[in-house]
């Protein structure tokens, strides 16, 4: 019994605390007041909430309240309002008979975002793909984007950037064709008419000025071909700054062959008749009667016993000559 008498004051205090706490924990909602003339004072239950110029919004307790909207020089707006959990909007017509009380508008949910497929292909595999300046991946690329306009850039080392604007309203495809970066290949003054090849593909013909062609960086087999000259071939590596080189073309040799008709040899002589003849070209003794000489003028001399034959001849590059020193007998 004594314990129950002690607990009653405690229970009473708990009930009072619950009532006070419940009052403070009362729910709140948004009150929006739109004054027809601003700035105007917004007063709720005799307390100034703020100024509407022309709109005032603030969190207040739900329930019944006395709303006054007041502007100096105009009749005030006064109305009893009930604020629910969804809030309340009041159009306060100052100087009029009253205002319209509207419930707080329900927020309109944003429209659902629809994504579309954007594919980017290129003639260079693994090229970087940028969409509106942000790297998105590498070719071949497929991604999801929303409706709108985009700038697509495809970039790869050794190639010029490819850029395209695309408006996406559905599935979109970008086919990028990247062009190699061109740098100068300078071969200097070549023999006019010389043909220039890279990896077997003809890229130009030399004229009267230094030969310069635009090529992509890389490693090539350079071949220069000109009439009367031996083909020149070398492997070169063209860097991003270009490449300069002057090929040295060598003239093609002229071929010669000495022949003595069988009718001109002495059948009584035993052995090789050529062993009885000495050949000199420009004063230098030759071991063979077939060979090559540089294009140009040369002096040829044949000596056999008491006989000597000498003559001067202009040999052209790339040509073959058959020489018959004892072709016949001249009678004057």
Per-residue pLDDT of 89-117, as tens digits, reads: 999 998 765 555 555 556 667 677 788 99
What percent of the chain stands above pLDDT 90? Answer: 50
CA angle 181, 183, 189 (to 5 degrees): 155
Q: If you average pLDDT over residues 57-61, what whole number do you get?
A: 92
CA angle 257, 263, 265 (to 5 degrees): 75
Write phi, then psi, for 245 (nearest 5 degrees). -165, 145
Buried/exposed code over 86-104 (b: 16+ C-beta within 10 A; e: otherwise) = ebbbbbbbbeeeebeeeeb
**Integer angstrom CA distances of residue 97 from 43, 54, 79, 94:** 18, 18, 10, 8
What is the pLDDT at residue 191? 87
In the chain, the domains with their CATH numbers are 27-103 (2.60.40.10), 115-176 (2.60.40.1120), 183-244 (2.60.40.1590), 254-323 (2.60.40)
What is the pLDDT at residue 9? 52
Q: If you average pLDDT over residues 33-42, what whole number do you get?
A: 88
Q: If you average pLDDT over residues 155-173, what whole number do you get?
A: 94
Contact 139, 129 (CB under 8 A): yes
Q: pTM to 2 decimals?
A: 0.44
Tokens of 9: 């004051």
Q: If you average pLDDT over residues 204-215, what whole number do you get?
A: 93
Band the pLDDT of 330: cuts 50, 70, 90.
low
Helix residue ranges, H only, the chain: 2-24
Does residue 261 surpass a pLDDT of 90?
Answer: no
């Amino acid at each position: 019994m004594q314990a129950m008498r002690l607990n009653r004051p405690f229970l009473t205090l708990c009930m009072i605390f619950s009532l006070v706490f419940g009052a403070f924990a009362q729910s709140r909602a948004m009150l929006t007041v739109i004054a027809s003339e601003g700035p105007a004072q917004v007063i709720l239950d005799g307390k100034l909430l703020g100024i509407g110029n022309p709109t005032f919004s603030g969190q207040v307790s739900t329930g019944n309240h006395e709303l006054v909207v007041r502007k100096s020089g105009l009749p005030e707006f006064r109305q009893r309002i009930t604020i629910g959990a969804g809030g309340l909007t009041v159009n306060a017509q100052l100087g009029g008979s009253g205002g319209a009380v509207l419930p707080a508008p329900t927020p309109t949910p944003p429209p659902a975002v629809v994504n579309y497929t954007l594919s980017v292909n290129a003639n260079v595999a693994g090229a970087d793909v940028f969409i509106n300046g942000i790297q998105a991946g590498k070719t071949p690329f497929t991604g999801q984007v929303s409706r709108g306009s985009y700038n697509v850039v495809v970039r790869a080392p050794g190639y010029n950037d490819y850029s395209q604007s695309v408006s996406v309203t559905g599935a979109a495809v970008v086919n990028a064709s990247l062009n190699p970066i061109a740098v100068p290949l300078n071969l200097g003054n070549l023999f006019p008419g010389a043909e220039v090849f890279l990896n077997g593909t003809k890229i130009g013909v030399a004229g009267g000025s230094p030969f310069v062609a635009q090529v992509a960086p890389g490693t090539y087999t350079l071949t220069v071909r000109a009439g009367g000259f031996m083909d020149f071939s070398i492997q070169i590596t063209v860097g991003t700054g270009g490449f300069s080189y002057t090929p040295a073309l060598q003239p093609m040799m002229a071929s010669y062959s000495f022949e003595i008709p069988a009718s001109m040899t002495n059948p009584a002589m035993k052995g090789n008749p050529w062993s009885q003849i000495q050949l000199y070209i420009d004063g230098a003794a030759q071991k063979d009667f077939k060979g090559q000489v540089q294009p140009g003028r040369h002096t040829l001399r044949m000596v056999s016993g008491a006989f000597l034959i000498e003559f001067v001849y202009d040999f052209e590059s790339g040509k073959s000559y058959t020489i018959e020193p004892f072709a016949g007998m001249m009678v004057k």
